[in-house]
Structure 1
């Protein structure tokens, strides 16, 4: 990975795959020897939450922080005060998995004083197969809406165009085209190109952005 600020905020539309990316990102950082905290700030969607994989992540040395009430199957819009810890502690590489719409980004407001310009990354996870972000105009509108409420600026775009386990190279390249158009329009670089490991191996090497192979931690083996 190229040099990044230690605080990374992950945003994106519901279904973009931001939580799957957040988990894979945390795992990659941990395997690089980093002291990692994954903070689940998604108080909107009760399904596919990063906190559901807390046991696996803890085994890898990753600190998981989410609802102040320890009940993984219960949707309670409360974030533990523990979240301040890794944001203030410079020894942590911290990932914030934020709710998948502008309203979900509102929770970032309480940490505004800790998110100073130039001291964090905010990555916009883009899935061109989602109708709500399938065009440049829609993607821009969604991004602007999140920035306005979160009071933070996007610093990078992540092409995570997928069809779950059925994702093809063509899906990823379709997303790359949209990500490139969005990048040019807003002057925001493409940071990562996310794809399942077998698909990532088949992608061209000259794409803008770093190819980021992932595993599907949030999809059980029986799920499509």
Structure 2
């Protein structure tokens, strides 16, 4: 279960993998399972679209501490990271979720303070979208894992199958991603931790899938998108 993961949870992946959507769904579920402070940090200073910081007000309403840019503005996006990101790293009473920027470029932001992470205190989840260009095979996914581990100076501890086509996602899409994730898991001995799917598909999935089901709401996609 989510509450049993390491206290600090980082979500990484290829651009367009849906890691920000996964992060926000994960943290809202986590909030329901644990006591005390829960914080969500947006460390994506690479891609200005579909950011968890866009739902800052919602996070506050749900009792989640949002952490993002050090510059408070709604009309400007700059690669500035707040010093507040450090506090939950050292305050062991905080359950901390970190949405990292895409690819090895985004991983460099984490690499700047990788020494602050204790090995037994974090999980780094790689989000797999097998419908995304350049991550449709295990070999391609492994290449991105290697690059992100090198730049972040941290190790991937779990896989998240988030293979989707937004609202057009089918069970077949999810099973396709599961095969890719399973092959990566076998090669690297990294467990599949979660299988993401739209809430409407949960009851249609096989019951023997490796990994816990994480139902997804499209928080970052407006109805018209």
TM-score, normalisation: structure 2: 0.97
**Aligned-residue RMSD, C-alpha:** 1.0
Corresponding residue for residue 40 of structure 1: 42
Query: Residues 206-221 of structure 1 correspond to what in structure 2 (within 5 A)?
Result: 206-221=208-223
Tell me the alpha carbon deviations over residues 158-190 of structure 1, each in whole angstroms, 9 at most, x when there is no partner. 000000011000000000011001100111000
> Does residue 18 of structure 2 align to residue 17 of structure 1?
yes
Larger mean CA deviation between 180-189 and 113-122 belongs to: 113-122
**Which residue in the other structure is 1:88 paired with?**
90
Q: Is the 8 A contact 1:39 1:66 kept in 2?
A: yes
Per-residue deviation, 1:114: 1.6
* Structure 2 stretches lacking a partner, 5+ long: none
The answer as to whether partners of 1:40 and 1:97 remain within 8 angstroms in 2 is yes
- SS of equivalent residue, structure 1 residue 122: strand
- Find the counterpart in structure 2 of residue 121 from structure 1: 123
* Distance of 1:141 and 1:202 partners within structure 2: 32
Could you give the per-residue CA deviations for residues 176-206 of structure 1, whole angstroms, max 9, x where no partner exists?
0110011001110000000000112210111
User: What does 1:69-148 align with in structure 2 at a 5 Å threshold?
Assistant: 69-148=71-150
Q: Aligned partners of 1:201 and 1:111: how far apart in 2?
A: 41
Task: Count residues in correspondence.
Answer: 223
Which residue of the partner structure matches residue 7 of structure 1? 8
Q: Return the offset for 1:33.
A: 3.6
Change (3 A) 1:97 1:73: farther
Unaligned runs of 5+ in 1: none
The ranges of structure 1 where at least 4 consecutive aligned residues each deviate by more than 3 angstroms after the TM superposition are none
SS for the counterpart of 1:194 is: strand
Query: Which digits, 9 at most, give the CA deviation of each residue in 1:104-149, with x for residues without a partner?
Result: 1100022212212222000000000012111111100011000001
SS of the aligned residue for 2:224 comes to: coil
For residues 20 and 47 of structure 1, the distance between their equivalents in structure 2, rounded to whole angstroms, comes to 12
Give distance in 2, aligned partners of 1:212 and 1:133: 21
